[in-house]
Structure 1
Amino acid sequence: MDLEEFNSTAADRLRPALAACCDVPRWVDAILAKRPYGDRAALTAVADQLLRELDDNEVDRALQAHPRIGDRPQGAGAEASWSRNEQSGVGADPAVRQELAEGNRQYEDRFGRVFLICATGLSAAQMLDSLRTRLTHDDATEATVVHEELRKIALLRLSKVVEA
């Protein structure tokens, strides 16, 4: 949809698309409440600022909507489709998938949440390198990285909702 349609579409019809970008009701509600937007840059700026303000509980909630890197998201919805596209760099190599699966388990054991990375444009090797590096982070550093990765993913997805 274009920006004009985004500004004029009923909130109940837009809510699922925005939740697919970032499943945090406060973020979705604030994006909707600040309409109309004069241009895409204004929408992006508001969305970005709101994403930076998410608290730890909201980040954890949003993470629950994200599949593990290397898992094939199921379903026909926008979020599943976006995830499949975003993770296209994983490829079909069983050895890489096994390394990612093991890394995901280590990460979840270490941090208690899914490993999240803005995978768009990254190769499987780059994702694995990042995973390995992030396993060495302390909790506070990793929480900051996760928040930033979530922000990047949400903004990328929002740009897909409101295309030029």
Structure 2
Amino acid sequence: MTLDQINKANSEQIYSLFENCCCAPNWIQKMIDARPFSSKEAVLEASEKNFAQLVEADYLAAFEGHPQIGNLETLAKKYANTSGSASHEQSGMSAAQKSVLEEMQALNIEYLERFGFIFIVCASGKSAQEMLDLIKSRINNDRQSELTIAGNEQAKITKIRLEKLL
């Protein structure tokens, strides 16, 4: 989408576009109100500025826009290596990978019960093992610290989605 299209889109269209980047209604409205944008950089700067103004309820709304990793099939699809590996390497998960995914599934459930929101991380370029290591390192945080970390991860995810939009 071009910058001109973003600036000229009607409220319904632009709401939907921004919602695909982040589901926090306050962030979406702030982005709509920030138009017109003078450049792609201005869009990204507005997003960063608007994220800094969000509160807990906004973060929780944003997190709800992500599917929860709740079963092995979802995890296997999420972390399957499809970037040019030989087909036999893509056809299944090794026993070690399956154990990583099973542990990740259990920790996702524990995380949700502990914090009241799903595990949020900018997963771009991360392996299943890296994701497991991250959830293990964060599971014992206090809720406020974890909310801050998850919010920062959401901001990274949103930036990537905005960059793809632009």
Normalised by the length of structure 2, the TM-score is 0.82
Write out per-residue CA displacement over residues 114-161 of structure 1, whole angstroms, 9 at most, x where no aligned residue. 011110111111110000000121222111101101111111111112
8 Å contact kept, 1:90–1:96:
no
1:90 aligns with one of 54, 79, 83: 79
Paired positions, count: 150
8 Å contact kept, 2:11–2:32:
yes
Q: Distance in 2 between matches of 1:158 and 1:109?
A: 31
Q: 1:32 to 1:120 in 2, by over 3 A?
A: same
Q: Distance in 2 between matches of 1:9 and 1:88?
A: 34
8 Å contact kept, 1:104–1:114:
yes
Write out per-residue CA displacement over residues 44-73 of structure 1, whole angstroms, 9 at most, x where no aligned residue. 001111012110011111111111247677
Q: Distance in 2 between matches of 1:70 and 1:129?
A: 17
Q: Distance in 2 between matches of 1:89 and 1:24?
A: 24
Gaps of 5+ in 1: 74-83
2:79 is matched by which residue type in structure 1? V
Tell me how large the CA RMSD over aligned residues is.
2.1
Gaps of 5+ in 2: 81-91
Aligned pairs for 1:5-154 within 5 A: 5-69=5-69, 90-91=79-80, 93=93, 94-154=98-158
User: Alpha-carbon deviation of 1:11?
Assistant: 2.1
8 Å contact kept, 1:107–1:115:
yes
Identity across the alignment (%): 28
User: Alpha-carbon deviation of 1:113?
Assistant: 1.1
8 Å contact kept, 2:123–2:131:
yes
Q: 1:48 to 1:88 in 2, by over 3 A?
A: farther
Which structure: larger Rg?
A: 2
8 Å contact kept, 1:52–1:151:
no
